[in-house]
Amino acid sequence: MIHPIEYRYGTKEMKRIWSEESKIKRMIRVEIALLKALAKKGYLSFEEVERVRKKAIKISPDRVKEIEEEIRHDIMALVKAISEVSDCRWIHFGATSNDIIDTATATQLRDSVLIFEEKLRKLALLLAEKAIEYKNVVCLGRTHGQAALPTTYGFRFSVWASEVARHYIRLKQMKERLLVGKMSGAVGTQAAFGKDGFEIESEVMRLLNLKPAIISTQIIPRDIYCEYLEFLANLATTLEKIALNIRLLQRAEVAELMEKFDAKQVGSSTMPHKRNPIDSENVCGLARVVRGFVEPQHQSAILWEERDLTNSSAERITLLEATILADHILTKLIKIISEIGIDLENVKRNLDAQKGLNMSEAVMIELTKRGVDRQVAHEILRRASLRAYANKSSLLEELLKDEDLLRYLKKEEISELLKPENYLGTALERIEMVVDWVRKTVNEG
């Protein structure tokens, strides 16, 4: 074993879809579907197709590989393997290699998409659930890594839930373009099938629960694979964004969020106290790898005339690894979110530690409402904030020294304005709205 996917990364269900054994079995099924379509047009009997099928499904991947080592052609090795266990002369009739390869790949993508759909639905609903659970947990918002206005943890989870739901929508919309196969021959003209070409291709795709590509050359146009890889890269970016923010909020000096840490888990080989966010770091690291497959796939869409072979070697890696790794980190993030812990005391501590400074906008807005020019109000609060920083005092203390400000606001009013829970705008209503939308979106169909 030399690749981490073999022993470290990836779920069993996704790796099973993209295994070499699965690929060969799927290509055999495409060949059998072609025979059935030919039988429907009278080329051979359905009884003969069934005899071939019963023998073909028992072909071992090792035998196909053995033949390939001799003749150096993977699809002809498959055809020879089927032919040697049956005497049917119609095997692979009218087909070119990528009729088999691309169509088999479409079945892998079809089954992979089902897994992605279910897991995206699960993550979106989980985030929506967390949004409601922590809707009223007021926390310090941060922009540029610095203290900003208050928000709530429910709001944060809502933002993440909305992104995941949009990926669910994208995936559903993409299926129409992605899940297509072909049975169109060497350059796409279906010359070997003659006028039967449309019907034969349609029947093969019907049997495999796919749709025919509207047009193809020797291969299905690779823009659809580019779109798929771009989708996985976009999804990976969202997953990394969420995991990165969990890591930021787990830092010792913040300590608001915490990945679950098992009783026997070890954080460091030398520092026994460590509780590292290793799952979130794993998501972040592998997301970068997933995004790295986008450019090779785009290059694989640029081919000579009706095709050359430069896409083949690259796509054996790009489609397989990007799919398995994206599924891996999606599964990982579901686990992280389902077990995430929030330290409410630290959330309050970090909010209180600002001594009201992050509430400067609230006072500025109220001053403006009471007749002070907005720019003047901004300058009053800016100077008071700088004094508070310099004196290590609270914003309230500094504002109470400003006689001009006290002509507009009383001490009790300023105190109320500096309470984070009083300056959330439409946050709570927005959370409810987003959660309703997310639940409706991922539960439709």
b/e map 345-366, b = 16+ CB within 10 Å:
ebbbebbeebbbbbbbebbbeb
CA–CA separation, 236 and 323 (whole Å): 11
Q: Which of 45, 60, 73, 268 is catalytic?
A: 268
Q: Which of 3, 144, 269, 273 is catalytic?
A: 144
Q: Please report which helix (H) or strand (E) contains residue 257, including its range.
A: strand 257-258
Rg (CA), the chain: 30
Q: Does the annotation mark 86 as catalytic?
A: no
For the packed helices 97-133 and 153-178, what is the interaxial angle rounded to 10 degrees? 160
In whole angstroms, how far apart are CA 95 and each of 32, 192, 207?
12, 8, 16
Q: Which of 244, 210, 228, 183 has the alpha carbon at shortest distance from 41?
A: 183
For the packed helices 61-71 and 74-85, what is the interaxial angle rounded to 10 degrees? 120
Neighbours of 421 (CB within 10 A): 10
Q: Does the annotation mark 167 as catalytic?
A: no
Q: Please report which helix (H) or strand (E) contains residue 151, including its range.
A: strand 146-152
Positions annotated as catalytic residues are 144, 268
